[in-house]
């Protein structure tokens, strides 16, 4: 193969990522991206509530949202889909999400080394200046991932 | 089905739809479990870090509810923060988790949680949660 691989594109990759597995079950959606950040949306859903008394999304799915946005921010920053594993993830909850509100997670990868990537971000329910939560995390690069060969993760067409 | 400790028959909707159940108890604290399947899968054949965190967090709340019931208290619980340490990949088999109350105060509680798979002495993840009680 002499063709250089296309740059990782979070929008393209989302079409493939969110059809399967945990993030597919949660119904995560791509929202926006930049050079080193990704924003994903977790739609409000009745079976993802954490509290009997209020129709507010549980904190568990919000961790999943931020974990996924973190990984994708790292691939967005590096330009390649190199598998990573979460080493440490911290979530500080400022307030509950509003009733029946979807939550968006915006995470940036602010530093990468050979073996680690550092991320920080916010979860919000409409106004990024009034976050629901702040997150900080460290990820490690790991060995080969069978998905690395998937064209959808190299910026090619997802239905190729 | 093993008998759930009193008051823990009702896990939150999120935990139930992810398939988390009460497996049993140890030293008076509930042991929760979740089977491996598409709903918890991240990279192929492995738990998604978010699903593992969801199990840890659910076990943390379950432990705190158990301790509060024993103390005759029933406050509303609000998360302050959670820090998750990932120690080993969660493989395609069931995961278990149990919480331990490090400190139960009047307004907040500090809970430590551990998750493992086939070998209890080799945790795959741990977490610390601070929870506000109102």
HEC states along chain B? CCCCCCCCCCCCHHHHHHCCEEEEEECCEEEEEECCCHHHECCCCEECHHHHHHHHHHHHHHHHHHHHHHCCCCCCEEEEEEEEEECCCCECCCEEEEEEEEEECCCEEEEEEEEECCCCCCCCEEEEEEEEEC
Measured between CB atoms, which of B48, B53, B84 is closest to A23? B48
* Chain A contact set for B16 (CB, 8 A): 47
* B3 has a pLDDT exceeding 50: no
Distance from CA of B116 to the nearest CA of A (A): 16
Nearest to A76 by CA among A149, A12, A127: A12
Mean pLDDT computed over B99-109: 97
Quote the domain boundaries for residue A123: 10-145
- Across the interface, whether the CB atoms of A25 and B80 are under 8 A apart is answered no
Condensed to tens digits (0 to 9), the pLDDT of residues A56-92 reads 888 889 999 999 999 999 999 999 998 899 999 999 9
Give the number of domains in chain A: 1
Q: What is the pLDDT of residue A51?
A: 74
Whole-model pTM? 0.89
Task: Confirm whether B94 is domain-assigned.
Answer: yes
The pLDDT of residue A158: 38
CATH of the domain at A36: 3.10.129.10
Query: Structural domain of residue B106, as residue ranges?
Result: 13-133
Q: Do A60 and B53 touch (CB under 8 A)?
A: yes
- Nearest Cα residue to A62 out of A107, A17, A32, A20: A107
Q: How far does the CA of residue B10 sit from the closest CA of chain A (Å)?
A: 10
Q: B50 lies in a domain?
A: yes
| Structure-derived torsion over alpha carbons of residues B119, B121, B127, B129, reported in degrees to the nearest 10 | 110
- Grade residue A55 by pLDDT with cuts at 50, 70 and 90: confident
Determine, yes or no, domain membership for B7: no
| Residue A2 domain flag | no
How close A4 comes to chain B (CA, Å)?
24
The structural domain count of chain B equals 1
pLDDT at A26 over 90: yes
How many Å is the maximal CA-CA distance in chain A?
59
Between A107 and B8, name the one with better pLDDT: A107
Q: Tell me what pLDDT residue B8 has.
A: 54
Residue whose C-alpha is closest to residue A123's, from A83, A92, A156: A92
**Is the pLDDT confidence value at A7 over 50?**
yes
Is residue B5 in some structural domain?
no
Instruction: Assess if residue B4 is contained within a domain.
Output: no
């Amino acid at each position: 193969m002499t063709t250089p691989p296309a740059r990782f594109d979070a929008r393209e990759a989302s079409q493939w990522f969110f059809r399967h597995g945990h993030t597919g079950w949660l119904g995560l959606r791509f929202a926006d991206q930049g050079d080193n950040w990704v924003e994903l949306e977790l739609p409000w859903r009745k079976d993802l509530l954490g509290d009997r008394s209020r129709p507010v999304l549980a904190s568990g799915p919000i961790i999943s949202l931020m974990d996924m946005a973190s990984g994708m921010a790292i691939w967005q920053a590096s330009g390649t889909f190199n598998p990573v594993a979460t080493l440490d993830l911290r979530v500080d909850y400022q307030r509950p999400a509003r009733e029946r509100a979807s939550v968006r997670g915006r995470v940036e990868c602010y530093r990468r080394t050979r073996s680690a990537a550092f991320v920080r971000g916010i979860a919000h329910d409409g106004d990024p200046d009034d976050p629901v939560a702040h997150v900080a995390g460290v990820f490690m690069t790991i060995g080969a991932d069978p998905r690395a060969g998937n064209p959808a993760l190299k910026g090619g067409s997802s239905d190729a | 089905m093993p008998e759930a400790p009193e008051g823990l028959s009702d896990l939150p909707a999120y935990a139930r739809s992810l398939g988390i159940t009460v497996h049993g108890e140890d030293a008076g604290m509930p042991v929760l479990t979740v089977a491996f399947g598409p709903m918890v899968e991240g990279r192929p054949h492995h738990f998604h870090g978010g699903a593992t965190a969801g199990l840890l967090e659910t076990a943390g709340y379950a432990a705190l509810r158990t301790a509060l019931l024993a103390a005759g208290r029933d406050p509303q619980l609000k998360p302050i923060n959670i820090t998750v340490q990932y120690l080993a990949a969660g493989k395609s088999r069931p995961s278990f988790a149990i919480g331990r109350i490090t400190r139960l105060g009047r307004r907040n509680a500090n809970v430590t949680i551990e998750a493992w798979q086939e070998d209890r002495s080799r945790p795959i993840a741990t977490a610390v949660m601070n929870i506000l009680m109102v």
